[in-house]
Amino acid sequence: MPYFAPLLHCSTLLLVALLLPSAGASPRQVQAFNTYETSPYLNDDGQGLVPALVAHLNRVLQGQLHLQLRNLPRARLLQSQLKQPDGFAGIALLLHPTFIGDDKRNTYLWSQPLFDDYNVLVLPVDTVPTEMTQAWMKGKRLIAVRGQRLQLLDPLVAAGHLTRSDFNSEQQTIQMIAAGRGDFTQMNRLMFQHLVHELGLGDRLVAIPEPGVVHFQRHILVGKAAGDLLAPLNAAIDALHCLPEWRQTAAHYGFAAMPCRSR
């Protein structure tokens, strides 16, 4: 890390402090929803990437804001907390606007990016086509997670080219594919890398980039009813990218941390 990185770290932490209430006030409690309940985001022991992210952010926010992690399946988040978007006063972690149909970013506020990612299609090793095309997908059974919007695949389901069966988690979907009860599933690459190792399925399943794969960035969704949270969260994310501890977390979970930059 360049020798001036500590100065950048201090300046971003100072900006966080300026954007937050005075130090004598009690921390403002903010509900932070996580819809990823599978490794590596949330492990069986309660640890994982999401709890680590929340802990890092709470340290940067210096007790002025306190993020309270709440784990909730995507379908339940949509049906309850996000059913009336204008009244949502919390945040949701590691999402992208297209995941919840906010492609134009009109419904919610979106933080600066946390890291880059992309999705893969998971299928048995003995069924991998020479070329993955939409034509190959016709007549296949897609195993998906309930509540997830799949930008490439949902139109094929609507057109009757694919059959979609929903389950509660990515762990269940990958187990269904391994058991031969579906043709393929979709998930993000980090989840596949961890799940296939934990479940001992590395010799049976393979992941290939989704056709026309486009990298996307993960953000924090902020409800407009709590719009004043956006500025301190953005400042905290800037500080986060300069923390050695966060960069170690990124390396541990297998993604590239974003550059540390000056404000």
- Tens digit of pLDDT at every position of the chain (263 positions): 444 445 555 555 555 555 555 555 688 999 999 999 999 999 999 999 999 999 999 999 988 899 999 999 999 999 999 999 999 999 999 999 999 999 999 999 999 999 999 999 999 999 999 988 888 999 999 999 999 999 889 999 999 999 999 999 999 999 999 999 999 999 999 999 999 999 999 999 999 988 876 789 999 999 999 999 999 999 999 999 999 999 999 999 999 999 998 65
Q: Per-domain residue ranges for the chain? A: 5-116+216-253, 119-209
Contact 108, 102 (CB under 8 A): yes
Query: 5-116+216-253 belongs to which CATH class?
Result: alpha beta
Q: Which fold has domain 119-209?
A: D-Maltodextrin-Binding Protein; domain 2 (3.40.190)
Strands (E) across the chain are located at 28-34, 65-71, 91-95, 109-110, 115-117, 119-124, 141-145, 163-167, 184-188, 205-209, 216-222
pLDDT for the residue numbered 50: 98
Cα–Cα distance between 183 and 243 in angstroms, integer? 42
Q: How far is CA 84 from CA 20, 49, 78, 119, 220, in A?
A: 27, 28, 9, 28, 18
- Look-up: residue for tokens 């932490």? 13
pLDDT for the residue numbered 17: 53
Cα–Cα distance between 143 and 161 in angstroms, integer? 14
- Strand 109-110 and strand 65-71: the pairing is unpaired
Give residue 29's identity as a one-letter amino acid code: Q
Domain pair 5-116+216-253 / 119-209, same fold: yes
